[in-house]
Amino acid sequence: MRFDIVTVLPELLESPLNYSIMQRAKDKGLLEVFLHHLRDYAPGKHRQVDDYQFGGGAGMVMKPEPIAACIDKLCAERAYDEVIYTSPDGVLLDQSLCNRLSMKNNILILCGHYKGVDERIRQKYITLEISIGDYVLSGGELAAAVLVDSVGRLIPGVLNDETSALFDSFQDNLLAPPVYTRPAEWEGMPVPDVLRSGHEAMIEAWRHEQSMERTQERRPDLWQRYLKSE
Ligand code: ADE
């Protein structure tokens, strides 16, 4: 799977995708991430990528021409399954959207900045707008990193049995159960006996019970979805 990310701040994206599971996915040849610096597509000495907004108001808007030049070049080289714009106005990213995107081959992500991009870019190129939560980031880069990480780890072969996404929180609309490691007792707090019993069916039942309890307590919205999906 290939991601092309168009950004005014490639530096912000370099580090988060170079460690752990993302690096392993790239090493295995399952994930490719290419960063495209928008300023390289802006003409003139100043390589200006933003401008004042029509109608007045604080904050700059990303100019359409450099974005169009960059996206046109990329689209001439390959067909994209989705052209995504990261923005607080988008659909909220959740596990089912991650699952759906992990089945694609080529995804282009445009990172928003300043007050956002000129509306005409959204009309002409963007097939999907994604928000990572109801709060405002100073740019779309961190949202793009979240997107690549959450989708990239679902590509078949990226995770091994131990880290399998099948047992992640949200995969079945339930939160994950609590986990423990050694020592068996720490600061007077023992690990639940059942986890040390070696009885697989009982452990499975205990984990499911804990998942249901946690979801009911902490995420009543998710719990309603779980009940409907059962
Ligand atoms: N850009 C700014 N805030 C954002 C958010 N919450 N999600 C995605 N992109 C953003």
Answer whether residue 139 shows pLDDT above 90.
yes
Q: How many CA atoms lie within 13 A of 51 on its CB side?
A: 11
- 200 vs 112: CA distance, rounded Å: 48
Answer whether residue 164 shows pLDDT above 80.
no
Query: Residue 83 C-alpha to ligand 1 middle, in angstroms?
Result: 16
Query: Residue 136 C-alpha to ligand 1 middle, in angstroms?
Result: 5
> Could you tell me if the CB of 10 is within 6 A of ligand 1?
no
> Could you tell me if the CB of 165 is within 6 A of ligand 1?
no
Residue % of the chain over a pLDDT of 90: 86
> Could you tell me if the CB of 143 is within 6 A of ligand 1?
yes
- What confidence score (pLDDT) does residue 114 get? 77
Answer whether residue 165 shows pLDDT above 80.
no
Q: Is the pTM of this model over 0.75?
A: yes
Between 175 and 170, residue with greater pLDDT: 175
How confident is residue 2, by pLDDT bands cut at 50, 70 and 90? very high
- The average pLDDT across 139-155 equals 95
- What confidence score (pLDDT) does residue 162 get? 59
Spell out the domains of the chain, with CATH numbers in brackets: 2-152 (3.40.1280.10), 169-229 (1.10.1270.20)
Answer whether residue 161 shows pLDDT above 80.
no
Q: Which of 13, 136, 138 to mutate to test the pocket of ligand 1 (most atoms within 8 A of CB)?
A: 136
- What confidence score (pLDDT) does residue 163 get? 61
Provide the mean pLDDT of the chain.
Answer: 94
Q: Are 75 and 119 in contact (CB under 8 A)?
A: no
Q: Which of 87, 89, 128 to mutate to test the pocket of ligand 1 (most atoms within 8 A of CB)?
A: 87
> Could you tell me if the CB of 152 is within 6 A of ligand 1?
no
Residue % of the chain over a pLDDT of 70: 97
> Could you tell me if the CB of 136 is within 6 A of ligand 1?
yes
Q: Which long-range contacts (CB under 8 A, 24 or more apart) does 91-98 make?
A: 91/128, 91/129, 91/130, 91/131, 92/131, 92/132, 92/133, 92/134, 93/130, 93/131, 93/132, 93/133, 93/146, 93/147, 93/150, 94/170, 95/150, 95/168, 95/170, 95/171, 97/130, 98/150, 98/151, 98/154
- The average pLDDT across 178-190 equals 97
pLDDT tens for 10-27 read 999 999 889 888 899 999
pLDDT tens for 73-112 read 999 999 999 999 999 999 999 999 999 999 999 999 999 9
> Could you tell me if the CB of 66 is within 6 A of ligand 1?
no
Q: Residue 191 — φ and ψ, nearest 5°?
A: -75, 135
Q: Are 117 and 83 in contact (CB under 8 A)?
A: no
- The average pLDDT across 207-223 equals 97
> Could you tell me if the CB of 116 is within 6 A of ligand 1?
no
Question: HEC profile for the chain?
Answer: CEEEEEECCHHHHHCCCCCHHHHHHHHCCCCEEEEEEHHHHCCCCCCCCEEECCCCCCCEEECHHHHHHHHHHHHHHCCCCEEEEEEEEEEECCHHHHHHHCCCCEEEEEECECCCECHHHHHHHCCEEEECCCCCCCECHHHHHHHHHHHHCCCCCCCCCCCCHHHCCCCCCCCCCCCCCCCCEECCEECCHHHHCCCHHHHHHHHHHHHHHHHHHHCHHHHHHHHHHC
How confident is residue 148, by pLDDT bands cut at 50, 70 and 90? very high
Answer whether residue 113 shows pLDDT above 90.
no
